[in-house]
Structure 1
Amino acid sequence: MPTYPNNAIQDSTIETHAKALRDTLSSTTRVYHPDSTEFKTLSARWSALAGPKVNVVVVPSTEDDVAKIVQYARTTGLPILAFNGVHAAITTLGRMQGGIEIYMGQLSNVKIAQDNKTVTIGGGTLTKAVTDTLWNVGKQTVTGTCESVSVLGPALGGGHGWLQGHYGLIADQFISMNIVLADGTLHTIDASSDLWWAMKGAGQNFGIVTSLTSKIYDIEQYDWAIETLIFDGDKVEALYQAVNDYLSPVPAHLINWSYWLNIPNIDPNKPIVMLYIIQEGATAVSPTYTKPFHDIGPLSIDAESGDYRDLARWTQVALDSPPSQKTGLANPRFPAYIKEYNVAAQKLAYDAFAAEVSGNSPFAKSIFMFESYPVQGVQAIESDSTAFAFRDDNILTAPLIAYMPSSDELDRQAAELGNKLREIIRRGSGSEELHAYVNYAFGDESPQNWYGYEQWRQDRLMALKKKYDPDCRFNFFAPIKHDTYREE
């Protein structure tokens, strides 16, 4: 049986491997070892909890370079992990305890086809670059909401986005992709490949995507508007009842998010509730949607208008927003999909959250996130057509337990709190199943939680894993393991 591919490079051989990689790769590829400033910058994680440890950072400049790095790692028995933007926080990444980091940042490019119907995106391209480039020529496509993430990062796990009500998930836009497989070969695949299904929801398990060709669309609405309403925590029940009554299901031209977080200058004693109502095709959010929330009595109302490019700034997920920065915090999330809000469960969760994050708590920077996107485009796609399994769910919830890591005991307390909050929400949904968005996953979930409870889904993923990655080289992000694989 194969051994787990996790043999750290010994200190005495780091420079040997670094030199061998330099000699193998193109002249514009960069290789760094641990005593360099660049190594520290490029290997830093957005979440400091259970992060992967690397010995050599390679920044490839061509797609062929990625293939050669994977070939080298396979020949030498070294583990590999692709790094791309920020926000991945799953603790399974911590299983990599030495090896080669492939930093994808040089593979950043956006090329629109001559017929203006598709775009080819480099594997290291961040969301903002795609949004801005397309917008400048009157086009758009579904990407993640956060500007600091790559397009591919969320896409391979399905990928939610502002425009999904019209067009579906990020993965639903795929036309073709170049991918380096576990044997180090570079392939172009599309819907004719049996691997295509798996890449739309479980793609991190099967290779490194070096470029993607995706659908694009004409911009139909240039105007966007938002109202940001802040409520006292005592309004939780009334607020989420109103969301159920007036914003469920969310219309295709609307997005509704809310955050629970501490803002001491507003309420020094407990978290406030921040509610976003975002409308496409408007210069002000319609009173049809806002009046029920005005009637509840918010502490403040802030209205803004602009265009699609303003959404990330308005919702604090722009490239330069504080939540997008690497600050040394641990940022584990505990996601659970639900179909609608259980108002009683929301109250229980708020009280439990407030009890643990208020005042001088080490978890005072935590946020409880509730993301309600329109689902019309997502649910128009046949559920069995992709590895993404949770198209019938409507709302993505996730406590993010932010703290400065200092001990195993504090890590344990954070995990206990996150799972407690998630379990309140799951129980309130009435479902025995936990549906967890893999891109937000904590790491203690099961493959059923990440990729669906249907046995045929698990069987299909394991069969593809056995075919395309029999030695489980790509096994650090929400791993799938086939039935003949054994760790030693």
Structure 2
Amino acid sequence: MKVLSLLVSFAAAVSALAVRQADVVSDLKTLVSSPSSVNAEIRARWSDYNAPLPAVVVSVQAEKDIATIIKYCTKIGIPFLAQNGGIGWGKTFSLGKWGVVIDLSNLNKVTVAADKTTATIGGGASIGETVAAANAVGALIITGNCNCVGALGAMLGGGYEGNLMGEVGFGVDNIISMRVVIATGEILTVSSTSHPELFWALRGAGPNFGIVVSATVRAMPATEEDRTAFINNLLFSPDKLEQVAQAVEDLPLTPQQRVYLVLTSSGEPLNEPSILVTGFLRKGTNETGRAAFAPFYDIGPVSQSSAITTYDHWNDANIGFCNRGGRKPSYSSTITGMSAQKWPEIWELYKGFQAKGLNSAVLVERYNLTKAKSASLDSTAMNEALRRDAFSQAIVIPWYDDASLDVEALEFGSKVRALWTRSSNPKNDPTYANFAFGDETNTAIYGTGLARLKTLKKKYDPKRVFTQWFPIQS
């Protein structure tokens, strides 16, 4: 056994030496087509905490170049990561010394069909670009709520976010077909009738099985009125927090409605910790909007504002969340209720850390889940508990610059997550992958579909070249 171990170590050393001697940049420049480009520059990621740092960045403009890069990296044994928005914060990324980032941001074309019932979204399109394309032709497409996030990245992880979610279900429920480059470098079109097993796996565990070049998704025609919403912002004093949390739980949400509770900074110049409720009602008026959120108005906010907002501005309030850089090791939980009595303790934890990390936040995102629950059992690879046993998503985001605060930030985040837990160990609780920290179990991320995913992983990626995003354990 000792001799075998030495041989394995020697082989690994020889491989590493070969990679060091190879000029990866030069190799890739000769392999990819123009106008794809190869360099060592990377756009700043959303979080610097455990951010993947590549040696080489290839900005691709053709799907065949993605296939070429996968084959090259696999052949010489270096890791790679496809990136669009660069927002993902899970700590599972590991590119080593010679890793390659495949930048998809130039593959950002969004085309809405003439009848406005479908749209094809490029793998590099952001949510903002997707919304702009849909709005320009009078259509609506389910996306997340932050314009800087990659539209398909959010969908492939599940798509448990978005102002239209109550009406159309999760993002994964709205994918019709995809063009994907798999581990062999083969380029496939997958759908419910073409490679259906892979189609299932990609919708919820996508980055474990390939790089999606484009996806055709459902859209819906929308008049100018259809593309408006009542959006309000209500600030509350700390003594009202438990009442507010209970109101979030008790509010009877319609499919056109969503509500967030956010512990956030008041902004410059004071940057004081604040308690914010923000509501959304599609096609709402000032009258119907106030009625839909009446329980919060009845509690008595210290300040309030509202507006009828057009589709292209629905995500404006989240622009600040798109600021890149800083350290943001974020935790989340799929909660089954608000547990209102715990929120004063969460508030105290938040105040304690926010004094050092001014932009830190705690938020609960609540949507009507009736449509999501109507999907057939195991229709996608997304954890079924997120449909069947969920009230909302809860996220805590420590946000700071000084790396010496890492230990304190992780303690803050883990303590808040523990207050949300439904079990003795939050790492075992059902967790939405796009919001997860990275210490959760595979079962927490993938739920009852894990065994099927493991089988498909062996079939489609036996060499395990896709292992950056919440990797499926063998």
TM over 0.5: yes
1:180-259 mapped onto 2 (5 Å cutoff): 180-192=181-193, 193-219=196-222, 221-245=226-250, 247-248=251-252, 250-259=253-262
Match of 1:414 among 409, 416, 430: 409
Q: What is the CA–CA distance in structure 2 between the aligned matches of 1:429 and 1:324, rounded to whole Å?
A: 34
Shift of residue 223, structure 1, vs aligned partner: 2.4
Amino acid at match of 1:333: S
Amino acid at match of 2:342: A
Corresponding residue of 2:39: 32
| Aligned residues: CA RMSD | 2.6
Secondary structure of 2:38 counterpart: strand
Q: What is the CA–CA distance in structure 2 between the aligned matches of 1:172 and 1:51, rounded to whole Å?
A: 30
Shift of residue 266, structure 1, vs aligned partner: 9.1
Q: What is the CA–CA distance in structure 1 between the aligned matches of 2:47 and 2:233, rounded to whole Å?
A: 27
Match of 1:448 among 416, 427, 443: 443
Distance 1:432 1:205, change over 3 A: closer
Corresponding residue of 1:471: 463
CA contact (8 A) 2:180 2:210 kept: yes
CA contact (8 A) 1:345 1:428 kept: no
Shift of residue 347, structure 1, vs aligned partner: 2.4
Match of 2:372 among 373, 378, 382: 378
Distance 1:472 1:432, change over 3 A: closer
Q: What is the CA–CA distance in structure 2 between the aligned matches of 1:5 and 1:394, rounded to whole Å?
A: 48
Shift of residue 295, structure 1, vs aligned partner: 2.5
Distance 1:428 1:261, change over 3 A: farther
Shift of residue 213, structure 1, vs aligned partner: 1.0
Structure holding more helix per residue? 2
Is residue 434 from structure 1 mapped to residue 429 from structure 2 by the alignment?
yes
Shift of residue 194, structure 1, vs aligned partner: 0.9
CA contact (8 A) 2:140 2:227 kept: no
For normalisation by structure 2, the TM-score amounts to: 0.90
Shift of residue 52, structure 1, vs aligned partner: 1.2
Is residue 322 from structure 1 mapped to residue 320 from structure 2 by the alignment?
yes
Q: What is the CA–CA distance in structure 1 between the aligned matches of 2:94 and 2:100, rounded to whole Å?
A: 14
Q: Deviations over 1:28-51 (max 9, x none)?
A: 010003xxxxx0x43x21110111
Distance 1:310 1:429, change over 3 A: farther
Q: Deviations over 1:328-347 (max 9, x none)?
A: 31112111111321111222
Match of 1:460 among 452, 465, 468: 452
Secondary structure of 2:281 counterpart: strand
Distance 1:118 1:291, change over 3 A: closer
1:1-40 mapped onto 2 (5 Å cutoff): 13=21, 16-33=23-40, 39=41
Amino acid at match of 2:323: Q
Shift of residue 394, structure 1, vs aligned partner: 2.5
Q: What is the CA–CA distance in structure 2 between the aligned matches of 1:218 and 1:202, rounded to whole Å?
A: 29
Q: What is the CA–CA distance in structure 2 between the aligned matches of 1:311 and 1:21, rounded to whole Å?
A: 41
Say which is worse superposed, 340-349 or 94-103, in terms of deviation: 94-103
Shift of residue 293, structure 1, vs aligned partner: 1.6
Shift of residue 183, structure 1, vs aligned partner: 1.4
* Corresponding pairs, count: 457
Shift of residue 257, structure 1, vs aligned partner: 0.9
Q: What is the CA–CA distance in structure 1 between the aligned matches of 2:423 and 2:220, rounded to whole Å?
A: 38
For normalisation by structure 1, the TM-score amounts to: 0.88
CA contact (8 A) 2:168 2:372 kept: yes
Q: Deviations over 1:309-356 (max 9, x none)?
A: 22101x32xxxx232121x31112111111321111222222222233
CA contact (8 A) 1:32 1:57 kept: yes
Corresponding residue of 1:338: 335
1:63-462 mapped onto 2 (5 Å cutoff): 63-94=63-94, 96-159=96-159, 160-192=161-193, 193-219=196-222, 221-245=226-250, 247-248=251-252, 250-263=253-266, 271-284=273-286, 285-313=288-316, 315-316=317-318, 321-326=319-324, 328-358=325-355, 361=356, 363-389=357-383, 390-392=386-388, 393-407=390-404, 410-427=405-422, 434-452=429-447, 454=448, 457-462=449-454
Secondary structure of 1:125 counterpart: coil
Shift of residue 68, structure 1, vs aligned partner: 0.8
Distance 1:244 1:267, change over 3 A: farther
CA contact (8 A) 1:54 1:100 kept: yes
Q: What is the CA–CA distance in structure 1 between the aligned matches of 2:80 and 2:124, rounded to whole Å?
A: 16
Q: What is the CA–CA distance in structure 2 between the aligned matches of 1:91 and 1:219, rounded to whole Å?
A: 39
Q: What is the CA–CA distance in structure 1 between the aligned matches of 2:17 and 2:315, rounded to whole Å?
A: 40
**Unpaired segments of 5 or more residues in structure 1?**
34-38, 483-488
Amino acid at match of 2:77: G
Distance 1:194 1:150, change over 3 A: same
Q: What is the CA–CA distance in structure 2 between the aligned matches of 1:222 and 1:5, rounded to whole Å?
A: 57
Shift of residue 11, structure 1, vs aligned partner: 9.0
Q: What is the CA–CA distance in structure 1 between the aligned matches of 2:349 and 2:96, rounded to whole Å?
A: 34
Q: Deviations over 1:135-187 (max 9, x none)?
A: 22221111111110111111111112111111111111111111111111111
Secondary structure of 1:444 counterpart: coil
**Unpaired segments of 5 or more residues in structure 2?**
none
